[in-house]
Homo-oligomer: A and B are copies of this chain.
Amino acid sequence: MDVADLSPAQARERFRAGERVPTAGWCRGWTQANLIAVPKRLRYELLLFAHRNPQACPVLDVGEPGAWSTRLFSGDLRTDLPGYRLYRDGRAAADLDEVVAEWRADLVPFLIGCSFTFERALLAAGVPVRHLETGRNVPMYVTDIPCESTGSLSGPLVVSMRPVPGDLVERAVEVSGRYPMVHGAPVHTGDPSAIGIRDLARPDYGDPVEVREGEVPLFWACGVTPQAAVLASGVEFAIGHLPGHMAIMDVRDECYQVT
């Protein structure tokens, strides 16, 4: 069975069983989300940080302290993603297959929109998506664009990149722009150095993809941004998804499309 045809529950079962893969292209038509779970004492700061940086951090759902399901994610947030990253004192402490032991009772999970959600719409509009073609993870980069900070959270904007043929750039902007809750239109097109990216071949997260002759790199705000803030702000404890290894939610991607 093609992973695109799996239901969210079926995909989560496979991840729970140990499959560790990027989720681009999985569960066609279902919304994917970034995970960032922080101690309760930081939940206000994180929600405010998300509010102040809505393009990078569109909050799709928030759980109660210690909960591992939310209204829009009926699986188990501790086991049903294909990979996790644990943060301690502002450092990436470990990459893990599951985080049952680490899921503290005071942990508040936030699910943040993901641009994988509009890739089906890009394909339907004739815009190729290179990392889907090549079965790789999307490349993600830390930019030199600072986020709007809160009292204790600050950090740089993280972006995902998709190379798009020059004559399809406008269409890609228009199509993704219809999905404001999953990052919307690109934040930048063209020269990577203009946003502080030195080498497209060396992404900070995910896999590099080829940018071919006549193609323009398009950069979208990325839901890994809260993890970059956790790093930059020395947050004592947090759990994120492994970038590109998303939570697959029980909500259709059409729900985040505006007309």
Q: Which residues of A contact B (CB under 8 A)?
A: 43-44, 47-48, 51, 59, 62, 64, 151
Contact = CB atoms under 8 A, between A and B. Distances in A.
Contact of A44 (B47, B59, B151): B47
Interface centre among A43, A44, A48, A59 (most CB of B within 10 A): A44
A64 B43 CA distance: 15
**Number of copies of this chain that the complex holds:** 2
B64 A48 contact: no
A61 to B, nearest CB: 10
Contacts of A44: 43-44, 47
A10 to B, nearest CB: 29
Given A44-B44, A48-B62, 9 more contacts: A43-B44, A44-B47, A47-B47, A47-B48, A47-B51, A51-B51, A51-B59, A51-B62, A64-B151
A51 B64 CA distance: 15
11 contacts: A43-B44, A44-B44, A44-B47, A47-B47, A47-B48, A47-B51, A48-B62, A51-B51, A51-B59, A51-B62, A64-B151
A44 B48 CA distance: 9
Contacts of A59: 51
A48 B43 CA distance: 10
Contacts of A47: 44, 47-48, 51
A98 B52 CA distance: 29
A27 to B, nearest CB: 25
A51 to B, nearest CB: 6
Nearest to A50: B51
Nearest to A44: B44
A132 to B, nearest CB: 30
